[in-house]
Structure 1
């Protein structure tokens, strides 16, 4: 495990592959961790990539540097963390690949700082930037029921449930979001260690409340959030991978997202995979990263 101070955090990260390899950031989501990329990073390292795999804020050994820093999980914070990590590691330009929270960070950095990004692989949702000003517009009842956990987290009952029953709750989410993934108890427990981070609950709860505009964000990210409210286009080459069996972000949620991209963009469905794409189908995820790398040589 490696550590580096970046922005508001002391970031814990795995570094897989030769240091001279193609810089590739692999970004996990909620409620997962760096083990989502154990197989992907091995494949990519064999193809000449240097894989940096950070624990996001509130997960695993990553820690806030100051007790005064708001435990914010808002999208602007995730993007700030990612660009700060690139700067701290002296990586001027990288491939960004992620899903869920990690995919959101990748999309935002690509939209706001395209000079830092060679290409993007976005898992689960193609254009993964929240439209917070429109967050209270109702979706179809079929979609609303997929997001029950987000509504649960708006209440203090939900906060207590995540704190007291986190393993049972997270196992349920894994099962619902990836119904065809037969993960082992060892696989689950390996990742559950990351949820013992002392700031996990507060960071998660803030994330799900902020995206509905129900709590204030960290003032440090107001400028970023203001730009994100305009839904900026992504100009760098992007491949979206959408799991056919995704129980929280099914492929239909990415219909029409091509309008948010002005460069190369393609969305592909992955059969037999759900929400945790890199761990469920590491070959498909790694192949997408390699393809983006090949498309952006030079």
Structure 2
């Protein structure tokens, strides 16, 4: 741990030219006494560090310390944060990873820091695909120039083919990129408000030097969550009402995920639930294996599909069940 701190102190000196023990202690979350020992240890190790006495004193590197001690180029820094950013913003990320990313940003040279922070927040990976996942696809043709526009914070003119096959030219204010299943999406600000565009429908990109109109306090993760929630509401066409035995709730949650709403338990212990789904037949297939715990009360279309599935299962496997019983 001490060697890690010494490297961090060295990077602080390179970035700030002069530091105090109090500043080092705050940055590295150690005591001032430990900070002073670390600064002294750098000098003992042969680092050209010297102290400046007096009210405005501190520690400095000989020559102003303007060498990039991290060894990273600007393009390498962007690449690093494009990889680290989505991992740090995912739901599974722990506080250690997020803290490490913040500290790494602070340790970078000033000229790299802005684009590193932009790169870290420019991309998210949504692990929940739209319905069934398709085959793995190569990255979209115009991913790199759009990613560059997001990081640099500049507008871009897109040639785009919509769902009806009509190609249009649109001026975009790129705010972020999202990988969801096999598809990539651009989150952008337009004259009509915030919109998303599939990158596999982009046929051309022409970045400009005009800055984007970025909403105040914009957060890509929160914005994407709002957009996907709205899309799911439009995709949902069936609302299934049922009651479930408590011991079956975990199986039901696994089967339908976030599309499940759970109510308070009734006097008999059973739990009312509501399931939102785009397909009556599809949800019947998911719920058929839960008949031991689940009682569908509406709609009739789902109940009818369940009856059809049950009859088909019975016809196919009844003979096998009978032969097993006679053994």
Common fold by TM > 0.5: no
- Bigger-Rg structure (1/2): 2
- Larger RCO, structure (CA 8 Å, separation 6 or more): 1
TM-score of the pair, normalised by structure 2: 0.21
Decide which structure has greater strand share: 2
TM-score of the pair, normalised by structure 1: 0.22
